[in-house]
Chain A
């Protein structure tokens, strides 16, 4: 019973698609599916996973956050500048600072959506530009380069524990925490309730705006964390970092079966959606396909995944009153 339910679930379909994709890549480049390489792909996708989980929570509440990549870039630049200005500050403090600043930037979105009732897409489109502009103001348009950052600052994502990099571990911890919040806390249930049926949520005593505020704040905190990790991993900070990445994040959510109309989605789906994109991104450079085709291929993969998702998602209509047709 449980097995058949799982096999019919979106996650199972997505997992199947992911395995099929890996098999397809293995035909052209067998080394890709070596365990060490798969771990590397997961590591590379960690940042996308962290952001996708934040975005998922926002989408669950019928909102969208287009400012995640700008938030990431702003927080990352702030961390880099902090590190340059005060090299003595321990990395733990910088990580805490990143999460706090990210949460604050997310909370700005949340307050605007909650208190001013502006559509989330407009709010976050605005804050996206504001955050990017702020990076320019902070940095004066110049880069923060690897030799200006301290060794400890750059080392955290690369440090290994039990043979696996900290970046991967952090992603695993974030997955576990978000899963815990969504399934085991009142706030987690509220996210689903608000997106599933806002009117009914109000009647059960849930404050819709407040719940959306927390969703944005959570997404912001995760974007902030990813901001530090991004800068430390690529060892460079500049205004345009991660530009356009918000679209990858939304695409990962959609592939992962998170309904844009809110209320439907799971942590497993979001992670698989991000991994699906991550595998494509990492495979395209090695399978020797013309770069001119690469964009079209990754775009097509998204469209196909979404098309399959919406088909699987469509609930059959039910005839409630059979006799009604014959009454007249």
Chain B
């Protein structure tokens, strides 16, 4: 799952921004996997946005310099000593953090995990960026939006055994009934290798000369497919879309090989997680079936494991790529 890995591997340059009102009533700590990672810096921006909206909240943004569970446990213990009101965390290890976070919850600190979850005992609720169903619906919608008259699309996945991609594609196939004019002609596997993905994309163009779109729900595949389409001189004929990071896809958007693609928005994620923990501090109950508000992002309904998905992935295109390509 290379999208994930790319997001998580951050440079170990320490960057710490704590701000907000000095005499804040509520202090919320955001514990990230590692400092210096663009994805989490963006999530931190979202948290600041939520704090500004709420008014009485101070955000403490912390994280270890290397993405380890040990580093995060130290942070949590120090935050307990500082008597913060809430912790928002993306965990480096879903089990190792449980004892420390349990201690925090016993002291009345509300804990929300986001992005990378903590096991059920160690948090009040978990906010996943998206769900398999939402991702599956998004990837076909991305292709269909640019094919008003219908057409042929092909899927370029990662490895044939990748659990996440396979479940996204399965969810996509479930909603194909909503797109009667769109035909999925093939599913091929680029194994998350740029050369194989490139070759598979070339093969698709040869096998289906009237192909209209390639959907690649993998960050390596979508970049390679866009390059293959550009090299074949088929920009404008074939739209490459799927899941990718703005920094990696900026070239493809510029060249026109890709009209749009999607990935979860880290700013929204940080914003929503902060809003949720604030709701909990204000007295909301995190229980299965509970509906909790998260400001401009609407509301979530918790499932049996006190988990919920934030929203469908955020769509990036020529209008917003410049804003996000330097973020993550």
Residues of A within 8 A of B (CB): 29, 31-32, 37, 40, 44, 47, 140-143, 145-147, 158, 230, 234-236, 238, 241-245, 281-282, 284-286, 288, 291-292
Contacts and interface: CB of A to CB of B under 8 A. Distances in A.
12 contacts: A31-B206, A37-B206, A44-B202, A141-B11, A143-B245, A145-B249, A145-B250, A235-B223, A236-B194, A282-B202, A285-B200, A291-B160
A37 B196 CA distance: 17
Given A282-B199, A288-B207, A243 B193 contact: yes
A143 B194 CA distance: 13
Contacts of A147: 250-251, 254, 325
Interface in B190-246: 193-196, 198-200, 202-204, 206-207, 223-224, 227, 231, 245
B6 interface: yes
Given A37-B206, A286-B203, A286-B206, A143 B6 contact: yes
Contacts of A235: 223, 227, 251
B10 interface: yes
A147 B322 CA distance: 11
B9 interface: yes
A143 B248 contact: yes
B257 to A, nearest CB: 10
B199 A281 contact: yes
Contact of A282 (B194, B203, B223, B227): B203
Given A140-B9, A285-B199, A286-B207, 12 more contacts: A29-B207, A37-B206, A141-B11, A143-B245, A146-B227, A147-B251, A158-B231, A235-B227, A281-B199, A285-B203, A285-B204, A292-B160
Nearest to B254: A147
A230 B193 CA distance: 12
Nearest to A288: B207
B198 A142 contact: no
A140 B203 CA distance: 34
B251 A141 contact: no
B118 interface: no
Contacts of A291: 160, 188-189
Nearest to A146: B251
Interface in B248-296: 248-252, 254
Contacts of B188: 285, 291
B11 A142 contact: yes
B54 interface: no
B186 to A, nearest CB: 8
Contacts of B247: 143, 145
Nearest to B328: A142
Contacts of A236: 194, 223-224, 227, 248
A285 B231 CA distance: 18
B198 A285 contact: no
B71 to A, nearest CB: 17
A241 B206 contact: no
A242 B193 CA distance: 7
Nearest to B321: A147
A241 B195 CA distance: 9
A146 B249 CA distance: 8
B12 interface: yes
A145 B251 contact: yes
Nearest to B11: A140
Interface string B1-30: 000001001111000000000000000000
Contacts of A230: 195
Contacts of B254: 147
Contacts of A29: 206-207
A63 B204 CA distance: 39
Interface string B134-149: 0000000000000000
B20 to A, nearest CB: 29
Contacts of B9: 140-142
A151 to B, nearest CB: 10
Most buried by B among A245, A281, A285: A285
A285 B201 CA distance: 9
A234 B250 contact: no
A147 B12 CA distance: 24
A289 to B, nearest CB: 11
